[in-house]
């Protein structure tokens, strides 16, 4: 299921010179997988987050054009790296609300999806119609007509579901580590207070222990809140 650029007649066209650092020329270079021209335009100061205003990639950004039309994963990786290094936002949607990851999903390019997810693209962002990248991937699987489309769409869906499960597990593991750390601090603090009150000769005394306990509780609450932030 390949992406198709949408057009609007009220968008004027940019300059005709394809080496002028405009959004239209940059998006056209990404659309045509012209990596040398893309690098030249970025070095000349083209804005990687601007929307193109031309018939070929109307309303697209350079990153959504690269992810939505290119098939060669090596060229796509190079274009993504150059665009991100020059300030492109990996989750910046095009004029129609489609993020680069959604464009890669609609383009049925699992390698591009994996590249974007490795670079930190978000899975939970929604299109204007309410669909996420995962929803687009599952929809493509259900609407596959040929064996080739079915294979590519399933590869995309597997990539998305793998990264979603991986990120959920990482988030869960992070919270578990934080809570274990807090629990260990509480245990050490309580054992120290127990030794002070009951076993150590010449202990600090009940009132002093209570004050120290409250102070440690406040410190633990601050550390746990800062760790969860």
Helix (H) or strand (E) holding 190: helix 147-194
Query: Of 108, 143, 178, which residue sits at a domain end?
Result: 143
Residue 174 and residue 108 share a domain: no
Residue 185 and residue 131 share a domain: no
Contact 76/89 with Cβ under 8 angstroms? no
In tens, the pLDDT along 45-103 reads 888 888 888 767 888 999 999 998 888 888 889 999 999 998 899 999 988 899 999 99
Query: Of 126, 143, 160, which residue sits at a domain end?
Result: 143
Domain annotation covers residue 77: yes
In tens, the pLDDT along 100-148 reads 999 999 988 899 999 999 999 999 899 988 999 999 999 988 888 888 8
Q: Looking at residue 72, which CATH number applies to its domain?
A: 1.25.40.20
Domain annotation covers residue 177: yes
Distance (Å, rounded) from C-alpha 60 to C-alpha 62?
Answer: 7
Residue 178 and residue 111 share a domain: no
pLDDT band at 6; cut points 50, 70, 90: very low
In tens, the pLDDT along 164-175 reads 999 888 888 878
Question: What's the angle, vertex CA 12, arms to CA 7 and CA 83, rounded to 5?
Answer: 75
Domain annotation covers residue 91: yes
Which pLDDT value is given to residue 5? 47
Which residues constitute the domain of residue 49? Answer: 23-143
Domain annotation covers residue 162: no
Domain annotation covers residue 180: yes
Q: Can you give the pTM of this predicted structure?
A: 0.69
The residue assigned the tokens 């974007």 is 116
Burial classification of residue 75, based on how many CB atoms lie within 10 Å of its CB (0-12 exposed, 13-18 middle, 19 or more buried): middle
Does residue 182 carry a pLDDT above 70?
yes
Residue 223 and residue 135 share a domain: no
Domain annotation covers residue 110: yes
Residue 138 and residue 173 share a domain: no
Domain annotation covers residue 159: no
Residue 58 and residue 131 share a domain: yes
Which pLDDT value is given to residue 196? 57
Which pLDDT value is given to residue 91? 92
Residue 37 and residue 99 share a domain: yes
């Amino acid at each position: 299921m390949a992406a198709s650029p949408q057009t609007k007649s009220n968008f004027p066209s940019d300059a005709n010179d394809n080496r002028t650092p405009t959004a239209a020329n940059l998006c056209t270079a990404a659309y045509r997988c012209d990596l040398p021209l893309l690098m030249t335009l970025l070095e000349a100061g083209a804005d990687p987050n601007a929307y193109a205003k031309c018939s070929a990639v109307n309303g697209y950004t350079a990153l959504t054009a690269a992810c939505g039309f290119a098939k060669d994963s090596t060229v796509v990786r190079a274009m993504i790296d150059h665009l991100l290094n020059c300030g492109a936002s990996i989750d910046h949607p095009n004029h129609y609300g489609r993020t680069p990851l959604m464009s890669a999903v609609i383009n049925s390019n699992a390698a591009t999806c994996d590249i974007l997810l490795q670079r930190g693209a978000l899975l939970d962002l929604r299109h204007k119609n309410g669909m996420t990248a995962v929803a687009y991937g599952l929809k493509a699987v259900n609407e596959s007509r040929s064996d080739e489309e079915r294979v590519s769409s399933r590869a995309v869906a597997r990539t998305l579901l793998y990264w979603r499960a991986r990120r959920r597990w990482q988030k869960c593991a992070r919270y578990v580590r934080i809570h274990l750390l807090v629990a260990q601090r509480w245990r050490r603090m309580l054992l120290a207070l127990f030794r002070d009150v009951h076993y150590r000769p010449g202990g600090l005394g009940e009132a002093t222990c209570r004050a120290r306990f409250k102070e440690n509780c406040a410190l633990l609450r601050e550390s746990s809140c800062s760790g969860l932030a």
